[in-house]
Structure 1
Amino acid sequence: MVEEVTLYRAPTTEADADALADWLADRVDAAVTVDDRLLSQLRDDALAEQFAEARVTSPYERETGNTMLGIVRYEERTLADPERGGGVIYDGLAVQDRLRERLAAPLDHVHVPLVDRALGTWGDHDGRWHKRVAVLGQPALVSVPGLYEAPAKPEAYYKAKQSHALLAGDAPPREVLEREVDGEFLVADDPRTTDALKGYVLAAYHYLETGEAFCGTEGCRLYDAHRQPDLIEAQLRAPEFCEDHADRYG
């Protein structure tokens, strides 16, 4: 039984850990606290190399890692100054293992770091890496970039982005994409980020409390959406929960 939840801030992102903690505390029978960035607290001489080992080097190769000196130095700089990072995907389970070793926490105290890294898991069914919003377990990793990148956007989004890049040489502003693309989606630093993360933070608690990873009902906050429109529906539209989970958390 989960007795305590600790959320960890990701200060370079739009996510508000304190607001998430307040929302969660109203719905679970556990003490909810907030702490500063976990990667800063656990950083040691080995962690940078372990992040280098967890780097996904190809979307279609299961093996990970590049521990050349320059890569390790990059990871050291990014751990110290997260604003300097980006554009890299990490094996979420490998990162989870390394952090669990350092935390050595009992399962009645779930740790939920909001992280500024893109995380993925390998799909045996199709032989490729898939970005994830959350890697559940202990600790439960919630990737803020994953919220924007993991669920697929409407096809028109990718076409509009590519077209703009060819003409202008850079990524189009959000307002351009929203005007040209039919359908709702989240983009980096979206003001809806905190609200959209609520279900994933709850899923971290729910998994250790019940053993259930995600809900299979579309529209429930505990649904693991694979498309942006489904994520919007689950996290930002009423009702918050399916009938079963409304009894527990509504």
Structure 2
Amino acid sequence: MVEQVTLYRAPSTVADAGEIAGWLDDRIEPSVDVRERFTATRADDELAEEFAKTRVLSPYDRDTGNTMLGIVRYEQRALDSPEQAGGVIYDGLAVQRLLGERLPDGERGLDHLHIVLTSRALGTWGDHDGRWHKRVNVLGQPALVSVPGLYEAPAKPESYYKEKQKHALVSGDTPPREVLESQVEGDFLVEDDPRTTDALKGYVLQAFHYLETGEGFCVTDGCRLANPHRQPGVIDAQLRDPEFCSKHNDLYSP
């Protein structure tokens, strides 16, 4: 049984850990506390190189890691100033392990769930298709919730990719993301979206639900515990009523 939940702030101010924790606290029995960014308080001299070892090198290459001096220095800068980092995907399970090794002594049991909001893009390897897939969250201890994953992991509406292809055929290049987002109809989340905090609440609850019950994602569309693969499904699940399916409403309705 989970008796305590700790949520670590993200570098991005668009993800309000305090608001997420308050929402979660209204829906679960264990108390929820908020701590500063995990890597700001738990980093050590080896962490930059450890992150370098988890970098995804290619979408279709299972092997990870590049510990050349320049890469390690980049990872150190990313730890010191995370708002300046980006454009890299990390093996989510490997990151989970290296952060798990740095959990505070006496807090590593499954009775104390740690949830880390992160500005890093995370992926998991798909044996079924031989490629990496971006994820919004990685469940377990500690659980990881990726802020950029919210925008990047679920596929955008089909109209987005059609507009991107049309622009490429006409001009020969890919239009800036901001141009595409302004031209495409349909509701989807974009970088620094003001709805980010609300959308992340369900993904944080998923971390608690998994550790508490052993159950994975909900199969019912529109439930906060669902794991939609497309952005319109994320909007339905995380930002529209009702919050939960009938089964999970009994557990988590405030």
SS of 2:132 mapped into structure 1: strand
Aligned residue for 2:236, secondary structure, equals helix
1:180 offset after TM fit, Å?
Answer: 2.3
- In the TM superposition, 1:1-250 aligns within 5 A as 1-103=1-103, 105-161=108-164, 163=167, 171-173=176-178, 176-250=179-253
SS in structure 2 at match of 1:34: strand
Distance 1:205 1:12 in 2: 22
* AA of the residue aligned to 2:215: E
Cα RMSD after superposing both structures: 1.8
Tell whether the 8 Å contact from 1:161 to 1:171 is kept in structure 2 after alignment: no
Instruction: Give, in whole Å, the separation in 2 of the partners of 1:169 and 1:245.
Output: 42
CA offset at residue 177 of structure 1?
Answer: 3.9
Shift of residue 197 of structure 1? 0.6
| TM-score normalised to structure 2 length | 0.93
Residue-by-residue CA offset, 1:162-209 (whole Å, 9 max, x unaligned): 638959986243xx5455213211000000001101111001111110
The CA distance in 2 between the partners of 1:74 and 1:138, in whole Å, is 27
SS at match of 1:102: coil
Residues matched between the structures, number: 248
Query: CA separation in 1, counterparts of 2:30 and 2:137?
Result: 20
Over the matched positions of the two proteins, sequence identity in percent amounts to 67
Instruction: Tell me the CA shift for residue 159 of structure 1.
Output: 4.3
Whole-angstrom CA distance in 2 between matches of 1:113 and 1:89: 16
Work out whether residues 11 and 83 of structure 2, in 8 Å CA contact, stay in contact via their aligned partners in 1.
no
